[in-house]
Structure 1
Amino acid sequence: MRQADVSETGFTLTELLIALVISTLLATAVFTFFLNSSQIITNQSSTTDMWQRGRNALAIVRQAVESAGFGLPQVSDCPNGIAAYNSNQTTSPFSLTAITASVQSSGTYDPTSISNINTYSLMTVAGGASFGNAPAAQISSIPSMTSQRVFLTATAFINSGDIFIVQIPGQACLMAQVTNLLTQGNGIGIVHNSGLSNYNPSGGFNTLAGAIYPGLSSTAFVGANFIDLGSNNFTINQFTIGDSGGTATPTLYLTQYTANQTTSSTRQALARGVVDLQLEYGLGNNGAITQWVLPANYTGSATQQILAVRIAMLARSTRYMPNETSPASFVMLPNQNLSYTVPTSNGPGCLQGNCRHYAYHLFESVVPVRNNIWGGS
């Protein structure tokens, strides 16, 4: 009978089991390491993306505030408003308010039920002519109140499509749109034809004045100021937050209107994850801010101008982070003692309704108002 050679002996069962357990532990540790690393990288990427989106959106809002009021007439020029033609094809006093902030309606986005805070929408208006708010010319004459021709002292830099305001000192301000320039043979001036622009009613200035400025005659236009607001760069920017009734991630949208657009404006998504927008007016005169107020508490005043706008915009990541927990609330405007409470249930666009498992950042900026504007409302 052959004896077993000691050189043929292998691992015992115990040794194999120990090796298997060690290999399993090592594999688990490596897998856990890579899983955690992947989650960290994913969270960092999501946070970086939120920062980038928030910074870009804040820069666009800042630019709109800085441009607000350029080219618009002073409140002293048109104290009773501007007679303009609106989308309902009727005349109305159109204030051309440079900065308007109002509480969003519950039909668009309303976080009051979860954070007990009002979110604002923002609208800015800026002219686009190189003249600013200085008159581009004076009116020599108009044939009649129903005429669509305006004779001017000069037409340099006035272009077809430009929005303009006729400012009759102490009497009226009327807004219309240039449809083409008069030729030299017909005199120097412009035409504001009702068939070529939605801003021009039939009946000319007679219809525009209507019941707002009754009793105007064509002789009152002699020597009136012709203020050119430009066309493409005459811009109305409207910033709002929407969330599709709470089923989608809250998003900051921009709807932009220009003077000569032929189609209706559509809102553009600026930044996903913007959950709150708060604004504060810095009021004062002679360049010195004396108080900060919420837009809802401000009434336009020639003695208390808006010198700066404080913007507080809260953004969150778009990725759910189950292992992360955000602060319970964020102070939006310290002067007003306003705080946004992060919802832990029924949060708009949040997985499982708990919005605290997302990364947040509060973007803040104080924007000086560079143009002498009407005020806000």
Structure 2
Amino acid sequence: MQLPVRPARRQLGVSLIETMVGLTLGLLITLIVTQVWGSFEGQKQRTISSSSAQVNGVLALTELEQDLRNAGAGLTDSAAFDCTSVFSYYESSGTVVSPMPAYVGGGMSMIPVQITDGGSGSDRLTIKRSGDLLGAIPATITQPMPSSSAELNISATTGFVDGDTVLAIDSATGSCTVMLVTQVQGAAMKLQHNPGTANTNNPPNSFQSSNGWPAYATGAKVLKMGQLISHTFAVDSSNQLMLTDNSTPLASTTSTLAADIVSLQAQYGIANTGSQDVNAWVDATTSTGWDTLDSAKVKRIKAVRLVIVARSSKRENSDVTLPCTNATGTVVNANGPCVWADAEPVINLSADADWKKYRYRVYKTIIPLRNIIWAGV
């Protein structure tokens, strides 16, 4: 008897081969997605890093530019630049400071802009102005004032009020003294600067005598100063642009303005004596003779040329920044990016052996010292 043939049972599920093919395809898709995502993330990080460098660079340049444009404001007479010795004093609640932070440096303390050359590193820039932007018409001392005297006989009291900070200037000797007006005697044409108030710039006679404070002869000038605003900008070892504010009488304060600033470079724009037209840019170096300033040199400084270099925070795996080359491809600066067509200033980033593995933003500007120009110095 022949048994009936049963039909083959239908196969259910997937075979091992199909499973392996599926796993292979899944791995390939995962690999592709991972690569695309990694590329996207890398590009995003580069974009964010470059954007951060741009923001930091613009912020640093803006802060410096605003301060530089106000340099020398309120210093209404070039006689202020004749100071070679500045005597200053502040007393509050028994605490005495002399000289005050803004006036440290003697004769250099009245200079609107001073650049300290940093060699292959960043420069330091100190900017000063009067806290009283309008000031007053400079007055002339009409009678000799002994150092022990608390009375200034002057040619005019217009614009002076009680509580003003003034600067007495003897251009012949280079001596200058910071004083606090305690009383304006308009009819008598006198300014009193008595010691003994709670917050005063007027030391007692004993302090003046023991510290050699000067007397002032007829013809010396008196300028209404207000508080002297003194800001110093510098890049620290962590590549941060720092602002040191020496304006407060008792102590200096330091704050961070921008991160990832790797270079700050500045040059004086100088004119011939008696001219307002810049005819040369010079570094504040010994070789140029502009590392130290005097009254004659200060009056020739009409502008500042400024360069800020900001760096991205992300380090790339390969070199992404090339040395500076000219139009023919010749390397003109092997240690950093290009700035001006001039030979100086040169950006030197070689202190970091991996400097080529970062991206940079270079910001440059020329800032006229309008207060110096308007004063006709």
TM-score by length of 1: 0.75
Change (3 A) 1:209 1:168: farther
Residues 164 and 176 of structure 1 are in contact (CA less than 8 Å); yes or no, is this contact kept in structure 2? yes
In the alignment, what sits opposite 1:256? Answer: 245
Change (3 A) 1:76 1:126: closer
> What is the distance in 2 between the residues matched to 1:78 and 1:364?
28
Once the two structures are TM-superposed, the CA of residue 311 in structure 1 deviates from its matched residue by 0.6
Change (3 A) 1:42 1:159: farther
How many residues in Structure 1 have an aligned counterpart in Structure 2?
337
Instruction: Please tell me whether residue 339 in structure 1 is matched to residue 356 in structure 2.
Output: no
The 5-angstrom pairing of residues 274-353 of structure 1 reads 274-285=261-272, 286-296=275-285, 297=288, 298=290, 300=294, 302=296, 305-322=300-317, 325-328=320-323, 329-343=336-350, 347=352
Instruction: Please tell me whether residue 236 in structure 1 is matched to residue 239 in structure 2.
Output: no
Identity %: 20
In the alignment, what sits opposite 1:369? Answer: 369
SS in structure 1 of the partner of residue 52 of structure 2: helix
Residues 125 and 237 of structure 1 are in contact (CA less than 8 Å); yes or no, is this contact kept in structure 2? yes
In the alignment, what sits opposite 1:246? Answer: none
1:227 paired residue among 216, 223, 227: 223
SS in structure 2 of the partner of residue 319 of structure 1: coil
The 5-angstrom pairing of residues 1-377 of structure 1 reads 3-6=7-10, 8-72=11-75, 74-75=77-78, 79=82, 81-85=84-88, 93-95=106-108, 96-104=110-118, 117-132=120-135, 134-135=137-138, 137-139=139-141, 145-150=147-152, 153-154=156-157, 156=159, 158=161, 160=163, 162-168=164-170, 170=172, 173-178=175-180, 180-181=182-183, 189-193=191-195, 196=198, 199-203=201-205, 207=209, 210=212, 216=215, 220-221=217-218, 224-231=220-227, 234-243=228-237, 249-258=238-247, 261-285=248-272, 286-296=275-285, 297=288, 298=290, 300=294, 302=296, 305-322=300-317, 325-328=320-323, 329-343=336-350, 347=352, 354-372=354-372
Question: Match for 1:307: what amino acid?
Answer: K
> What is the distance in 1 between the residues matched to 2:210 and 2:84?
12
> What is the distance in 2 between the residues matched to 1:196 and 1:170?
33
TM-score by length of 2: 0.75
Deviations 1:300-330 (A, max 9, x none): 4637711211111211122333356222422
> What is the distance in 2 between the residues matched to 1:342 and 1:167?
44
Residues 160 and 224 of structure 2 are in contact (CA less than 8 Å); yes or no, is this contact kept in structure 1? no
Deviations 1:169-226 (A, max 9, x none): 7566522131633588998634252775675443399659948x6xx46xx35x7532
SS in structure 1 of the partner of residue 47 of structure 2: helix
Change (3 A) 1:301 1:77: closer
> What is the distance in 2 between the residues matched to 1:4 and 1:360?
73
Residues 283 and 308 of structure 1 are in contact (CA less than 8 Å); yes or no, is this contact kept in structure 2? yes
Residues 163 and 175 of structure 1 are in contact (CA less than 8 Å); yes or no, is this contact kept in structure 2? no
> What is the distance in 2 between the residues matched to 1:77 and 1:103?
24
Unaligned runs of 5+ in 1: 105-111, 244-248, 348-352
Once the two structures are TM-superposed, the CA of residue 2 in structure 1 deviates from its matched residue by 5.7
Residues 308 and 366 of structure 1 are in contact (CA less than 8 Å); yes or no, is this contact kept in structure 2? yes
Residues 70 and 133 of structure 1 are in contact (CA less than 8 Å); yes or no, is this contact kept in structure 2? no
> What is the distance in 1 between the residues matched to 2:81 and 2:13?
102
SS in structure 1 of the partner of residue 230 of structure 2: strand
Once the two structures are TM-superposed, the CA of residue 227 in structure 1 deviates from its matched residue by 0.7
> What is the distance in 2 between the residues matched to 1:325 and 1:145?
64
> What is the distance in 2 between the residues matched to 1:280 and 1:92?
21
- What do you get for the CA RMSD once the two structures are aligned? 3.7
Change (3 A) 1:208 1:89: farther
In the alignment, what sits opposite 1:108? Answer: none
Change (3 A) 1:178 1:292: same
Once the two structures are TM-superposed, the CA of residue 32 in structure 1 deviates from its matched residue by 1.9
Unaligned runs of 5+ in 2: 90-96, 324-335
Moved more, 138-147 or 364-373: 138-147
Larger radius of gyration: 2
In the alignment, what sits opposite 1:109? Answer: none
